[in-house]
Amino acid sequence: MDKPVTTSAQETALATIDSIQPLLSAWTRTIFDFGETAWREYQSAAWYVERLKREGFSVEEGSGGMPTAFCAHWTNGDGPVIGMYGEYDAVPGNCQDAATVKQPREGLGFQAGGHTDPHSGLGIGSLGGLLATKAAMLEHGINGTLRFTGEPAEKVRGSKPIHAAQGYYDGLAGMISFHPFYMLPLCNTARWDTHCGAAYSMVYRFICDEPESWARASDAAPIPQAHSAVRAPGANDALMMMYMASKALRDSMLTHQGGWSISEAILTAGQATADNLPAGLAEIQYMIRVPTIAMAEQVTAVLDRNAEAAASMSGCRHERHWVSKSRPGLANHAMAEITYQALSTVGAPRWDEAARAIAREVQVNAGGEATENPFIDELERLIAPREAEAILRRDLPPSQANSTSDDYTDMSWHAPTSRFYVARPALRAAKGHVYPSWAMNALGGISATIDPMVTCAAKTVALTALRLLEDKAARDAAMDEFVKRTGGGVGGSNWIAPLCDYDPPINFRWPEYVTTARGRDWWIPAASTT
């Protein structure tokens, strides 16, 4: 098809991104090397706050009661408010250097945090689009406001339900959501009808307040619960009973309703030096990813019963604390078309021979065979939203309206929202070879391989934002569709209100980097000994 016509402001934005591309590359690597995980992204959030202030934005730090969140604004007079955002959390157990061999970042072990999706490129791609939009608005006298939120803990769908409940997405003419491609056919396209589903996450805490009440020592023993006396089961036993009972969820619940999962993580209480005393505290976190809220409620009810039973059997009490309660996504075809037209104008990312040579090294070092084109073909192709939707629906039952998981969905109930994907580097597998995860993670940190995605995303964000600012008809069409789908807009008859009825879960034992007399380390200690 013919290349869409761009406005003068859009041309300015594209030129701006080209001019700051070396900066975007360096910034992406900076966030990649921080590798900070959910709720503990201190350096990453501080970096964004400082950068945005230097670019003339007013910044609310710690937005929504979350220390590593923020909300930034820049205004060029009365006009539409356009929303964008950055994510920057990494994942424990994925510490990989930006290198063509498997190795952790310097001074760390593999169990430290590392970027997988990678959110390092996600956030900087969106930031690049934001800065280019601002430059175009200034040069061409375009009125409006840009709102950029910093979103921690996406991996546990953490910040967006909280920001949504506190009004940070209200009043937007449009919200632009970008993510690196992570599954076919969603590569260089925008979501159409089938958006991500609901998700609940919670921590069950088991507390053994009075282990001595489990069994009393004889009258002659000076200390109840003496070393040779029977030991109370305690919190660890409660946790293990909870863990084993809840594994049955995978076998007996919702097995024929596609696209759901439940996973768990055990949070340590640091009791490794507690002699033979029963554990007084143990915590286990669950993440439920399902198409509907009703399914999330069903699974939660079973987990609640399991927790109550486990606590009763082990002389403990239990508490449930929410990490996330997140809504399924709401489609907006008008926004999808606006964003896909922007992506079509930019074109799919392209990788040069230098990037391909690096990828071939990774292929070999990851146990595969070097190929002339080391990347899968889809990375350099666009796919129209309707075409991607048709492929996505082939493996889903007709009754299933939502699939996979991401918390941008909470934004979609407060403003017309587009969700688009840009290809990240992904290796071609010869003869059915499966590459280890470190290979994908490394390609997300090496500048030559990740920069094409960041640049493409930044340009797409900027063109989408400027279309919304300059084209009232397009903007109104997106809002009209939002109002229709929600039955009247925010608060309408079909609108789903925020589910967040909890405080930010910032005080749990989330893993993080620490500095001690032993130096900088990852908690639980796992510093490299090589």
- For residue 280, the domain's CATH number is 3.30.70.360
Say whether both 359 and 406 belong to one domain: yes
**Residue at 143 is within a domain:** yes
The answer to whether the CB of 388 falls within 8 A of the CB of 189 is: yes
Say whether both 335 and 302 belong to one domain: no
**Residue at 501 is within a domain:** no
**Residue at 520 is within a domain:** no
CATH number, domain containing residue 70: 3.40.630.10
Exposure string over 43-66, b if 16+ CB within 10 A, otherwise e: bbbebbbebbeebebebebebbeb
**Residue at 431 is within a domain:** yes
Of 274, 296, 326, the one marking the end of a domain is 326
pLDDT at 424: 98
**Residue at 502 is within a domain:** no
pLDDT by residue, tens only, the chain of 530 residues: 455 689 999 999 999 999 999 999 999 999 999 999 999 999 999 999 999 999 999 999 999 999 999 999 999 999 999 999 999 999 999 999 999 999 999 989 999 999 999 999 999 999 999 999 999 999 999 999 999 999 999 999 999 999 999 999 999 999 999 999 989 999 999 999 999 999 999 999 999 988 777 765 555 555 555 555 556 788 999 999 999 999 877 777 655 566 678 888 888 777 777 677 778 899 999 999 999 999 999 999 999 999 999 999 998 999 999 999 999 999 999 999 999 999 999 999 999 999 999 999 999 999 999 999 999 999 999 999 999 999 999 989 898 999 888 999 999 999 999 999 999 999 998 777 899 999 999 999 999 999 999 999 999 999 999 999 999 999 999 999 999 999 999 999 999 999 999 999 999 989 999 988 888 888 876 555 54
Say whether both 143 and 176 belong to one domain: yes
Q: Are strands 198-207 and 317-326 parallel, antiparallel or unpaired?
A: antiparallel
Say whether both 62 and 187 belong to one domain: yes
CA distances from 378 to 129, 297, 366, 449 (A): 24, 37, 21, 15
**Residue at 507 is within a domain:** no
Say whether both 315 and 370 belong to one domain: no
**Residue at 275 is within a domain:** yes
Say whether both 380 and 434 belong to one domain: yes
Say whether both 286 and 427 belong to one domain: no
Of 291, 326, 361, the one marking the end of a domain is 326
pLDDT at 310: 96
Of 294, 326, 358, the one marking the end of a domain is 326
Say whether both 299 and 379 belong to one domain: no
Q: Which domain holds residue 285?
A: 199-326
pLDDT at 254: 59
Say whether both 207 and 313 belong to one domain: yes
Say whether both 163 and 276 belong to one domain: no
- Which DSSP letter does residue 323 get? E
Beta strands (DSSP E) in 389-457 are 417-422
Say whether both 66 and 142 belong to one domain: yes
pLDDT at 1: 46
pLDDT at 249: 74
- 429: exposed, middle or buried (Cβ count in 10 Å: 0-12, 13-18, 19+): middle
pLDDT at 433: 86
The pTM score is: 0.94
**Residue at 399 is within a domain:** yes
Alpha-carbon span 508 to 523, nearest angstrom: 13
153: its two tokens: 């803990």
pLDDT at 223: 58
Q: How many domains does the chain have?
A: 2
Say whether both 358 and 289 belong to one domain: no
pLDDT at 252: 72
- CB < 8 Å & 24+ apart, contacts of 72-75: 72/147, 72/148, 72/149, 72/150, 73/145, 73/146, 73/147, 73/148, 74/134, 74/145, 74/146, 75/144, 75/145, 75/146
